[in-house]
Amino acid sequence: MTTKIFIDGEAGTTGLQIRDKLAGRPGVELVSLPTALRKDAGAKRELLGQVDLTILCLPDEAAKEAAKLIDEMGAKAPRVIDASSAHRVAPGWVYGFPEMTAGQAQRVRDARKVTNPGCHATGAIALLRPLTEAGLIARDFAVSIGSISGYSGGGKSMIEAYESGKAPAFEHYGLALEHKHMAEICQYSGLTRRPIFVPSVAKFRQGMLVSVPLALDDLPGRPSGADLRAALRRHYGQGYIRVVAESRDRIEPESLNGTNELEIHVFANEARRQATLIVKFDNLGKGASGAAVQNLELMLGL
């Protein structure tokens, strides 16, 4: 049986990578609209009625319009994965982070509408959700999150700025502390207190590090770094996410590029009772296209 898939916005960075991951895959047929008809609602509705699943790789407002069109199709509507930030905390959408908590992968399998996590949020939630569930971080704890990403996550204008040499080597941004990923971090991290989140971007194309520093004596039960590492390992087990044993004191962001893998590192200084938790992954892989394909595989049983 062939599964028909329409990538709405296949010419963008995420859409192109999803297409590359699915191209030539047995049992999958990718269908497209001619360029001249990509904004034609009637043509899009007709195509949506012929496919099993669509992936929205669109700006937020366009994704909302596409989702409304799909809702209006009723029983004839395809299943949908939204790779934009338009529906990440919206009612009726399943959050597409299968490893987040027990039962989440099954919720993705059963869903009609799945919303992909944001890249920064993927890293933050991967660290925080297991530890709030285990009671090792209090839900009202004051958490700070730092994140550095390759410039490819910023879209066409940022990519052009970096690749033309106009952008700086490094910059913090979102310093009004209202980054669009905050809503999903607040909703899915297990925290009841809004964390402080400071993102940054640097002059490398893709890759990402997300970090959470912790004073161990301020945590419930005063755990060790080994306790945190063990809780994270119990949560994730086997799969795309793995907890790494540390034998170094530095980390770079690019070695997982081109994969859907995510590494969790726990760097601890027991004498000082301090730790830093760091996640490494590809912001265009597990942070975007890889996550979309993982969710698609669950939803369609591929």
**What's the one-letter identity of residue 105?**
A
Residue 268 near residue 136 (C-beta atoms within 8 A): no
Q: How far is CA 138 from the centre of its chain?
A: 24
Task: Give the phi and the psi of residue 209 in degrees, each rounded to 5.
Answer: -130, 130
Nearest CA to 210 out of 223, 219, 200, 224 is that of: 200
CB neighbours of residue 179 within 10 Å: 19
Instruction: List helix spans (H) across 88-205.
Output: 104-110, 119-133, 155-163, 182-188
CB 108 within 8 A of CB 114: yes
Active site residues: 119
Strands of 113-115's sheet in order across = 28-31, 3-8, 53-56, 79-82, 113-115, 94-95
Number of helical H runs and strand E runs in the chain: 9, 13
Could you say which DSSP state residue 154 is in?
G
SS3 state at 40: coil
The first and second tokens of residue 9, run together, are 């916005």
